[in-house]
Amino acid sequence: MDRCLIFLVLILMGCNSSQNDQASTTVHETPEVTDTMRYQDEFHLKNVRMLTQGGDNAEAYWSFDSRMLVFQSTFEKWGTQCDQIFYFNPLEDDAIKHRPKMISTGLGRTTCAYFMPGDTTVVYASTHLGDEACPPRPERRDDGKYVWPIYADFDIFVTDLEGNILKQLTQEPGYDAEATVSPQGDKIVFTSMRSGDLELYTMNVDGSEVTQVTNELGYDGGAFFSPDGSQLIFRSSRPKSEDEIKVYRELLAEGLVMPTEMELYICNADGSDLRQLTELGKANWCPFFHPSGDKVIFASNHETERGFPFNLYLINTDGTGLEQVTHDDTFDAFPMFSPDGKYLVFGSNRYNGGTRDTNLFMTEWVD
């Protein structure tokens, strides 16, 4: 799904929700900022560096060897009209001066790319088999609801680093996307509409043994494995009241979801021991496990009045110890730790010159 409609999120995500005791954050004494792209209170970040400059760039995910990033981008200067998949080595390549290698087909819309074991292939979702043109974005609704499209043409593919599609992993009718790979290299988790609702599934990296993980009404998506592969962390918008359920089902019938109320959930990789991790209100999403496996980093707007800005937070996997990581007044999201634990990459609107550009940033991580 197109999770890069970032600026619209910033403007329109303004619903009110109660906050609980998790909203208190830890205060730290920090040294004076020397990094030009790091704000004063961002003590977990060191040597923040902008990796892209221009367009909408998001969902940058590390290779197994912590040397490459694969990401999606819409950038006219790179010849893309809607999200396509690129990769580069952020330690050696300059993606500001030189366009990274595009490994998607250039057709349709793509999303959620992730390196496969061995770092010579990538899994991603694409709509190109349904239509080679970019699918239309939802028009602004009369009821004012902010919505994400669930394109039924999305299927999941494996490509090599030259852009040759090697295999199609899903062939069910309807939405199949948001695939990520276990650090153990054996399983893929993804979101699918094959049951009639947006649920999580796992499969082997060759596409076999598809297993349903979640089964409660609501949108379950953006899942990632824990470092040892035993657990999943994901976002979910689970309607409870009759009115909420009615709205959810009506939007889903139109191929839409409303992501303005999302909380984080955690479970074992087989779906057992499911529990809600956050109860913060508003939109809590794009979670990723800390390398220790004991914490989760995620984006949230729960401390805002209008739903803006978004910042990154850490929380213990038992729901305690909420801590603000970034202190931006715009938008920070899509965080991912490198497998070796040295770096964090994230998408941000910081230092974009007042434009709507969302760029990738890389920083050394300080525990």
User: What integer pLDDT is reported at residue 36 of this predicted model?
Assistant: 86
Handedness of CA 280, 199, 292, 117 (dihedral sign): negative
User: What integer pLDDT is reported at residue 249 of this predicted model?
Assistant: 97
Cα 86 from Cα 198, distance rounded (Å): 27
Cα 325 from Cα 41, distance rounded (Å): 8
* Residue 335 and residue 361 in contact, taking contact as beta carbons nearer than 8 Å: no
- Tell me the DSSP string of 296-337: EEEEE-TT-SSS--BEEEEEETTS---EE----SSBEEEEEE
Cα 133 from Cα 80, distance rounded (Å): 11
Which domains are seen in the chain, by residue range? 6-20+58-294 (2.120.10.30)
Under 8 Å CB-to-CB from 35, ≥6 apart: which residues?
45, 46, 47, 48
3-state SS track over 87-104:
EECCCCCCCCCCCCEECC
Cα 176 from Cα 200, distance rounded (Å): 10
* Residue 295 and residue 288 in contact, taking contact as beta carbons nearer than 8 Å: no
Provide the terminal-to-terminal Cα distance of the chain, rounded to the nearest Å. Answer: 32
User: What integer pLDDT is reported at residue 337 of this predicted model?
Assistant: 98
Cα 185 from Cα 317, distance rounded (Å): 23
pLDDT digits (tens, 9 = 90+) for 198-242: 999 999 999 999 999 999 999 999 999 999 999 999 999 999 999
User: What integer pLDDT is reported at residue 34 of this predicted model?
Assistant: 57
- The vertex-87 CA angle with 85 and 91, nearest 5°, equals 155
Cα 297 from Cα 313, distance rounded (Å): 6
Low-confidence ranges of the chain (pLDDT < 50): 1-33
Cα 328 from Cα 59, distance rounded (Å): 18
User: What integer pLDDT is reported at residue 145 of this predicted model?
Assistant: 83
